[in-house]
């Protein structure tokens, strides 16, 4: 199944902290453009009212809100407004919170403490059908996946999936949970060069996210 791109022309931000709310508004306005409708509310009640008042393509939801959990809102949207894609943007990174968000229907999980460029790149991936997952969150999700009782025979890589040695090196670091900025420092390349290599990896593996790239590469035996 091809990844489904997310339109960013209508976005609802659910964040109770005024500074964080203003930051996300600025980020999304810069990313989506002046023609987009970007709204923001501070609690669950206001979010439900706004979602029933106007259509949205995307909701960026904090976990801890004054009147409950943002995960409750995501579950409510999944049941009643399935066309609205939802991404957690939170300071919480506990395993049970991550799993609860995914089970509720979140397609991504980002951390507030990342810098603006990292958040912008992650959110931009939605337009290509990506599922933005913070590297730390990806590492914890992968740690929860039980090891197979016996190794499965690796599929023969398709010609288009052949990665260069540099791309394999970068993918191995992605699998360890490093961000593009950290990888750039580790291999002594610019962050822009790492982003170009990452895009090539996605294209060759026909995936739209870091987590999907790691799973696909492992299935093809490219990380051995």
Confidence at residue 30, expressed as pLDDT on a 0 to 100 scale: 92
Q: Where in the chain is the domain with CATH 1.10.10.10?
A: 159-219
- What pLDDT does 176 receive? 79
What burial letters (b/e) apply to 56-72, b meaning 16+ CB within 10 Å?
bbbbbbbbebeeebbbb
Fold held by 10-143? Rossmann fold (3.40.50)
Predicted local distance difference test score (pLDDT) of residue 161: 57
Q: Where in the chain is the domain with CATH 3.40.50.2300?
A: 10-143
Dihedral pair phi/psi, residue 177, rounded to 5°: 95, 10
For residue 33, give the 3-state DSSP assignment: coil
Contact 105, 13 (CB under 8 A): no
Residues 119, 26: contact at Cβ < 8 Å? Answer: no
Q: Which of these, 186, 162, 164, lies nearest to 174 by C-alpha position?
A: 186
Binned average pLDDT, 10 residues per bin, the chain of 224 residues: 73 96 95 93 96 95 95 94 93 86 90 90 86 81 60 50 83 83 87 87 80 77 72
Answer yes or no: are the C-beta atoms of 133 and 108 closer than 8 Å.
yes
- Report the pLDDT value the prediction gives residue 160, as an integer from 0 to 100: 44
**Percent of the chain scoring above 90 in pLDDT:** 39
pLDDT of residue 159: 47
Write the Ramachandran bin of 215: left for phi over 0, alpha for psi from -120 to 50, otherwise beta.
alpha
pLDDT of amino acid 59: 97
40 SS3 class: strand
Encoded tokens for 57: 């393509």
pLDDT at 44: 96
Residue count of the chain:
224
Q: Residue 214's pLDDT is what? A: 78
Structure tokens at 148: 């197979």
CATH fold, domain 159-219, is: Arc Repressor Mutant, subunit A (1.10.10)
Q: What is the rounded end-to-end Cα distance, in angstroms, of the chain?
A: 26
């Amino acid at each position: 199944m091809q990844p489904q791109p997310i339109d960013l022309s209508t976005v609802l931000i659910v964040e109770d902290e005024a500074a964080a709310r203003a930051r996300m508004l600025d980020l999304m306005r810069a990313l989506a453009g002046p023609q987009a409708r970007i709204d923001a509310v501070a609690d669950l009640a206001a979010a439900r009212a706004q979602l029933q008042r106007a259509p949205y393509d995307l909701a960026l939801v904090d976990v801890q809100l004054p009147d409950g959990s943002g995960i409750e809102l995501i579950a409510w949207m999944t049941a009643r407004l399935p066309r609205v894609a939802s991404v957690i943007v939170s300071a919480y990174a506990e395993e049970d919170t991550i799993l609860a968000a995914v089970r509720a229907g979140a397609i991504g999980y980002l951390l507030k403490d990342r810098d603006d460029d990292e958040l912008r790149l992650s959110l931009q991936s939605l337009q290509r059908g990506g599922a933005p997952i913070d590297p730390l969150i990806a590492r914890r999700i992968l740690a929860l996946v039980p090891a197979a009782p016996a190794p499965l025979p690796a599929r023969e890589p398709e010609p288009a999936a052949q990665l260069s040695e540099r791309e394999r090196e970068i993918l191995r670091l992605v699998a360890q949970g490093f961000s593009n900025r950290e990888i750039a420092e580790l291999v002594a390349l610019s962050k822009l060069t790492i982003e170009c290599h990452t895009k090539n990896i996605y294209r060759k593996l026909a995936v739209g996210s870091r987590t999907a790239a790691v799973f696909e590469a492992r299935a093809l035996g490219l990380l051995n």
